[in-house]
Amino acid sequence: MKKILLLLALSFLYIGSQAQLLTPQKMMFPTSHGDSLEIDVYLPNNTGTFPVILIQTPYGKNSYRNGLPLGIKKNLSTSKYAFVILDWRGRFANLSKFNASIKTGEDGYDLVEWIAIQSWCTGKIGTWGPSALGNVQFETAKKRPPSLTCAVPQVASPQFFYEDYYAGGSARVAYLKQLDNLGFGITSTVMAHPYYDFLWAASESATVYPDSIEIPMLMIGGWYDHNTDAILFQFDTCTKNSPLPTGTKHHLLMGPWVHGGSGSAYVGSANQGQLTYPNAAGASDTVALQFFDYYLRNINNGWNNKKPVMYYQMGDDQWLEDTQWPVSYTTNTNYYLHSDGNLKTTQSTSDSLTFSYNPNSPSPTVGGATLSTSLNQGPYNQVPAVESRFDLLTFETPTLTQDLKVKGKIGVNFFISSDKKDTDVAIRVTDVYPDGRSMLLIDGIQRMRFRNGYRVTDTAFMVPGTVYPVSVELPNTAITFKTGHKLRIVVTSSNYPMYNRNMNNGGEMYPGSNVDSVLNPQFVINKIHVGSAYPSHLVLPVDNTNTSLSENELFKLNLYPNPAQDILFIESEELIKSIKIVDLAGKIVTIKNNSKSKLNINQLKSGLYVIILESEKGIVTKRFIKQ
């Protein structure tokens, strides 16, 4: 009886929830291929005309009956926009219309032009959507439909690059499996080409087409997304190569967001992994609506005066704007690995440190830039499951006495030896909180046989005991490591199942073309070498513009006269490599006729400035006054 009552209760709940769903108008639109595709049309009312936001999804248009994006949810009557949603050809409502010779962008072109002549459309059409829903926006824009006005692709880029599937030469196991689960089924093709070859060259050429993008785009990405660098690449190439004036109208929004698609975190949510970013909550919707309002509703909201790059500085929890990415005012600063586990701007004494790796017990993936329903996404504490193991090395800065502001790509340059012919070098960068949490920021990996490149001819196995230089690619980021925190790197030889497990035997990497096979695995002992002969180090792109009241004395340096009117002289015990002058607004000031011993500051306005001087020993900041 209780079971029957429970079933009745659940059925009433289901019926009640169904009653709350949005009800679109189902329509068929004719394509240029002689058939018709089903779409859902959501109109705020039946009498008005509206600009339209088009969404093309491979995941089922019915899900939008639970609520529309951009903050509309179920309040359709208050929307300023109509929404049209299409299931891709060969998916869901259009399953029977599959045709491998027809590209998604072709249907997008036809649908845009059909929408434009409907009585309920003003003739202004924009596109929106994340991930695959973003990629199809690029494909549609590539076809140049005359009625397409603008686009907002999120965590998306159309490129098909080798490194997107083989990070550092190591197959992205969880990513490929998830793509298969979503119905894209590309693993067999990817696994047939584990080296960079004609397929990758051709696919890259075919999927980079910024000169075909003739509409303004707002590209939205996340610092915890697996697509971070791809989005930045797409923004950069479109900005430089889209036809004018479109190239000057593209914008970029980078927030503290994961890719989404599994778990509770998504683009625009406050909670990301085990951290919370209240200042970022809803920002993707707010900015997208400003963009749409300007281009689709002709509202003079100041969008045309916004700088092209908007990004979130994690740690400071602050939105910033700039004219470019990477920003122009960072200084590359070397942080050397020391044998005692420290990261310092000074060199270490010569030594080597050992870490091991067993393919049958790999270092586990805990959070990060993942894309899998079985894995967490975003920043997670690495201490319990990763740093508690024995198969790693960690290096960290001393507890910071002032903020360390990083913007851009952190470089990793190590010297490695091994007792096997091949192995991987996996890096995790973490932000260590005063309470001991080691929160993952970014990660990367490099397969040693590919240290010289990814073509078959580039492959070079290791000679056991020989020391080799290796660089590990890490994605862009923007974070301030706060006073009282530490920057830590965790070095292992695996990060599984994010990346394929190296069997260390120098043999075939993927027996049977299996992305996750293990055949004849070998236990390996690896070493990182440090010191003057083998200066293993990180390169941090440091923003020193807010250190105006904080001087350091890494090496002896004298500025005179101070205050100065026309000429500022520099005396230094170290050879100066570069000089930057920053005003109190944090902007780099261009100086003409400068040398390493004196600067002509006659053109500067009167006031307080910071001079940033870089030597082989590190960075020194000094204040001076221009009279």
What is the rounded average pLDDT of the residues 364-384? 96
β-pair partners for 513: none
Question: In 3D, which of 226, 214, 231 has the Cα closest to residue 370?
Answer: 226
Q: What is the pLDDT of residue 627?
A: 73
3-state DSSP percent of the chain in helix, strand and coil, to 5? 20, 35, 45
pLDDT at position 559 over 90: no
Phi, psi of 362 (to 5 degrees): -75, 160
β-pair partners for 529: 352
The more confident residue out of 620 and 41 is 41
pLDDT band at 604 (very low <50, low <70, confident <90, very high): confident
pLDDT over 90 percentage in the chain: 81
Cα distance between residue 622 and residue 515, in whole Å: 53
The more confident residue out of 540 and 618 is 540
Strands 309-313, 318-322: pairing kind? antiparallel
Contact 351, 393 (CB under 8 A): no
pLDDT 10s digits, 119-170: 999 999 999 999 999 999 999 999 999 999 999 999 999 999 999 999 999 9
pLDDT at position 381 over 90: yes
- When mean pLDDT is compared across 351-355, 430-434, 567-571, the lowest value belongs to 567-571
pLDDT at position 547 over 50: no
Q: What is the pLDDT of residue 555?
A: 66
Q: What is the pLDDT of residue 546?
A: 55
| Residues whose CB falls within 8 Å of the CB of residue 374, separated by 6 or more in sequence, listed in order | 174, 497
pLDDT at position 202 over 60: yes
Q: What is the pLDDT of residue 200?
A: 97
| Residues whose CB falls within 8 Å of the CB of residue 18, separated by 6 or more in sequence, listed in order | none
Cα distance between residue 101 and residue 89, in whole Å: 11
Q: What is the pLDDT of residue 45?
A: 95
Average pLDDT, the chain: 92
pLDDT 10s digits, 219-260: 999 999 999 999 999 999 999 999 999 999 999 999 999 999
| Residues whose CB falls within 8 Å of the CB of residue 501, separated by 6 or more in sequence, listed in order | 359, 362, 494, 516, 518, 521
What is the rounded average pLDDT of the residues 420-433? 98
User: Token match 């070493």: residue?
Assistant: 527
User: Token match 């000169």: residue?
Assistant: 211
Cα distance between residue 565 and residue 551, in whole Å: 22
Q: All domains of the chain, ordered by start, with CATH?
A: 18-153 (3.40.50.1820), 330-543 (2.60.120.260), 557-626 (2.60.40)
pLDDT over 70 percentage in the chain: 93
What is the rounded average pLDDT of the residues 607-620? 76
- When mean pLDDT is compared across 298-302, 555-559, 589-593, 614-618, the lowest value belongs to 589-593
Cα distance between residue 475 and residue 229, in whole Å: 6
Q: What is the pLDDT of residue 591?
A: 66
pTM (2 d.p.): 0.86
pLDDT at position 539 over 70: yes
